[in-house]
Structure 1
Amino acid sequence: MTTNQPHTTKPTAGEALLPIQLPETPLPETPLPGPPPSVAAPPRNRRLLWAVLRWTAAVVVFAAVGAGTAYGITRMERTDVPGLATQSDGRWDYPELAKPPLPSGTPEPFAEVNKAGAHYADLRALLLPAPEGATEDKALRGTDGWLATKDFLAEYAPEERDDFRQRLTDNGLRHIATRGWTTQDGTHTRVYLLHFDTAAVVDDLFGSDIAAYAAPRYLLRGTESLTHDDDFAGIARVDNVPRSVYTESRPYGAEQVRQAYLSAGDVLGVVIQSRKGAAKAVPFQQTVVLQSQLLG
């Protein structure tokens, strides 16, 4: 951008004095006139004053132009600034998240005094809300917000359900809070929070083959294989909430499935996303991390 500079004229030091030629014949006895009048050079301090004023004016002009440019950039969207234009990375617009208040006198789930790792807040209030523009899956609301175990097990392959049901029963599953939604691109998300008596129970379930690193113990409905999701390698972890994440390997059917298990005190979280064609990595990562933060 070219900035118009104020036009200034450099002050002159005065006209040069012409040499005085004396005539060859003497003039009458009259005193010789003094040298012709001339324009005196500006005093040194006046010249310095001109320089100061000139540079001050230049600085003011540049400062005004610079301030205007900075203000313009702060008022522009990122994609309007040349060199900073970026495309969306596919994240969803979730509402502002806040943990529900704890009952009076109860500790946080990972406080030192809370040996059981208990979540005293209403588990239904710890569910991640649906993002903007999504359609909520009302069938997953259950009764008073609690889902029947059989409806949760319907996510899994028929041959896996009896064994998984027995394992949940043996470990004292109390209830399941759940929420699901479908976004405009067809991604179907389900979040399940399984509540047990203590963190020790959840640690045992999570640390066993249910959520093994390489692959989960129980296959989801419509999948042939789920393996460790390498896309999560660089995603920040949430303190006190270990996770195991999986993605359906090729070849898969009409849709791809992604899954995560979260161990959060006395809560075992299960996040499932599926989409026709391919389930995108970024919204899955975003959903898993945000749900982990609500439980942490």
Structure 2
Amino acid sequence: MPAPKAATLKEDGWEPIADFDAATISARVPGHFFEAGLRHIARRGWIAPDGQHTVVELLQFPDHQAAYALETDLVAGPPQAFGKPEKSTATTTLTVPNLGDTTEDVTVQTFDSVEGHAGQVARRAVFRTGDVVAIVTATGPEKVGTVALDQEIMLQAELLR
């Protein structure tokens, strides 16, 4: 997915599986990527003029069953740099297109802090289409709204269809 106009490209390319694995907080995830046959992780990120840093990660597995098996673990295992999910803010649910004419409800989690970035929050969505699990993450100042992230999630889901 191309970066939006006026955004600065930050990440672009392949992410080593071991690096992604090491950054995950869930005790269930480490090692499961290799067992599930994770092929590779494509990663693209950018910083918008409002300070929001968006990263899209696409994890490709050998088949939809392997992707499905790890999707739940990935939802439960956010990066270690994020604080606990906010309790005062309800999670948001988006309905995104999936294969064919089907749709899927995607939960967007909000985290109350980002390690090393005072005053910032993180929002993260994990969803699956076929053999690919997509993770869309946005970090930025609390004042930055959710519309841009919601649009990125919808666009990414449409592109994976």
TM-score tier by shorter-chain length is: 0.7 to 0.9
Q: CA deviation at 1:279?
A: 4.4
Match of residue 165 from structure 1: 30
Q: Write out the 4+ residue segments of structure 1 that deviate beyond 4 Å after TM superposition.
A: none
Residue-pair matches, total: 152
Higher helix share: 1
User: Aligned partners of 1:264, 1:209: CA distance in 2, in Å?
Assistant: 16
Unaligned runs of 5+ in 1: 1-127, 212-216
How has the CA–CA distance of structure 1 residues 131 and 155 changed in structure 2, closer, same or farther, with 3 Å as cutoff? farther
CA contact (8 A) 2:29 2:73 kept: no
> TM-score scaled by structure 1?
0.46
In the alignment, which of 210, 223, 226 is matched to residue 85 of structure 2?
Answer: 226
Higher relative contact order (CA 8 A, sep 6+): 2
The residue number in structure 1 matching 2:2 is: 129
Question: Which residue matches 1:204?
Answer: 69
- Give the Cα separation in 1 of the matches to 2:144 and 2:34: 32
Quick one: which amino acid aligns to residue 192 of structure 1?
A: E
Counterpart residue number, 1:48: none
2:107 aligns with one of 244, 247, 256: 244
* CA distance in structure 2 between the partners assigned to 1:210 and 1:131 by the alignment: 26
- Provide the C-alpha distance between the structure 2 equivalents of 1:169 and 1:130, rounded to a whole number of angstroms: 30
Per-residue deviation, residues 144-199 of structure 1 (Å, max 9, x unmatched): x322123434654xxx3775331111111111111000010110011000010000
- Distance in 2 between the 1:255 and 1:155 partners? 19
Question: Structure 2 vs 1, CA of residues 210 and 291 (structure 1 numbering), >3 Å: closer, same or farther?
Answer: same
Provide the TM-score with structure 2 as the length reference.
0.80
CA contact (8 A) 2:21 2:31 kept: no
Aligned-pair identity in percent equals 28
Show CA shifts across 1:50-108 (max 9, x none): xxxxxxxxxxxxxxxxxxxxxxxxxxxxxxxxxxxxxxxxxxxxxxxxxxxxxxxxxxx
Structure 2 unaligned spans of 5+ = none
CA RMSD of aligned residues (A): 2.6
Aligned pairs (5 A) from 1:22-101: none
- The one-letter code of the counterpart of 1:173 is L
The correspondence for 1:191, drawn from 51, 56, 61, is: 56
